[in-house]
A and B are shown apart, each in its own frame.
Chain A
Amino acid sequence: MKTGTRAKILEIINKRSGVRPSELIQTLELTPQAVHRHLRTLLEEGRLERRGAGPKVLYFVAGKPQLERVQAWFGAKSKPAENPPELICETRDAFAGRLPRLTSTGLGKDEQSLAIAAVGEIGNNSFDHNLGHWKDTPGCWYQTQTTGGRLWICVADRGQGILKSLARVDPGITDDHTALVTAFEKILSGRAPERRGNGLKYVRNIITGKDRRGLACRSGNGLVDYGKLGVECREELARFPESAGTVTLILWSLK
């Protein structure tokens, strides 16, 4: 019975973005004491995380990212209402200036080296392929979250998308999925005749190099994933609305 109630609590919290105890009391028709007892157990088991304090406290499922804000920003039909300066890198320099933050996320030295290089390639791609082609908001959204021993890294842009960029040099690429697979698996530069096009292959090699990593990338209606944990990233990005831009989600286990 208690296990069933805890499973229900986890299910409710998983569906929403942060839940207050009062919402659980109302939804489950339990006493406040019973709800707090279950929450305490789930916290002790490491299945939930508590953020905030006092009446503003919210409970989240440990290990899951909070992507509602970037999802709304990425999928907005017109210029997004919210452009948080702490998460938007309007210029390449602003993005580069935030990369060192990955050194304080719990990654070991070698993993920092690889993660920074991989994320650097993804973020710089946003600028390489979209300068002069932003839909309405220049730059990229760059966010890291550590939860339940896992690091989530999200880079999104409201640019022209990978298909448009690659179809210019290879008109044979006509759909979003093929464009994404080409970008991650073949050497073809969207900025030909400049000799480029190795960055995302590098990212894929790093992600598939160890079981504890994963990545998914969405552009238009295309969605690909790589690495052992890629399917979890894919599940998250599958909830994003279709947009011309590109969003990449990386999951890196810290355990």
Chain B
Amino acid sequence: MKILLKKYGQILTSRPAGHEAALAMKTTVKPANDEAIELDFEGVLSVGPSWLDEVLSSLRTEYGTDRVICLPTRNPSVIESLRVIDTQPPHSK
């Protein structure tokens, strides 16, 4: 299932805002077993790594790393955010 991130704002920065967004997503996102969760950045102007890390961490903890997918985007702030997040060591449980 697809999550349209523009519904959470055009500018997505800060960990507290990412934390709030992740909590809101988890109350409304009800994927079927093994269904992938796709994050769609269409219509979003800017995404910071803090916001995205908070959302990805929360969703991956809930649904598993492999099921949470960032859809391809040309938004440079997203591309740069993912570059930084992916170089970090994985979350400790």
Contacts and interface: CB of A to CB of B under 8 A. Distances in A.
Interface of A: 92, 96, 99-100, 103, 109-110, 112-114, 116-117, 120-121, 124, 128, 187, 195-196, 198-199, 201-202, 205-206, 209
Interface centre among B10, B13, B16, B47, by most chain A C-beta atoms within 10 angstroms, is B13
Contacts of B48: 117, 120-121, 124, 199, 202
Interface residues of B, number: 28
Interface string B38-60: 00000001111110010001000
Given A96-B11, A109-B45, A117-B46, 8 more contacts: A96-B13, A114-B77, A120-B13, A121-B13, A187-B89, A198-B53, A202-B49, A202-B80
B80 A196 contact: no
Interface string B70-91: 0000011100110111011101
Contact of A195 (B17, B46, B88): B88
Contacts of A187: 87-89
Contact of B45 (A113, A195, A196, A206): A113
A92 B50 contact: no
B88 A114 contact: no
Interface of B: 10-11, 13-17, 45-50, 53, 57, 75-77, 80-81, 83-85, 87-89, 91-92
B45 A124 contact: no
Nearest to A109: B45
Contacts of B16: 92
A216 B49 CA distance: 20
A209 B45 CA distance: 19
A165 to B, nearest CB: 15
Nearest to B10: A100
Contact of B77 (A103, A116, A199): A116
15 contacts: A92-B16, A96-B13, A112-B45, A112-B46, A113-B75, A114-B80, A116-B11, A116-B46, A121-B50, A195-B57, A196-B15, A196-B50, A198-B49, A198-B84, A202-B49
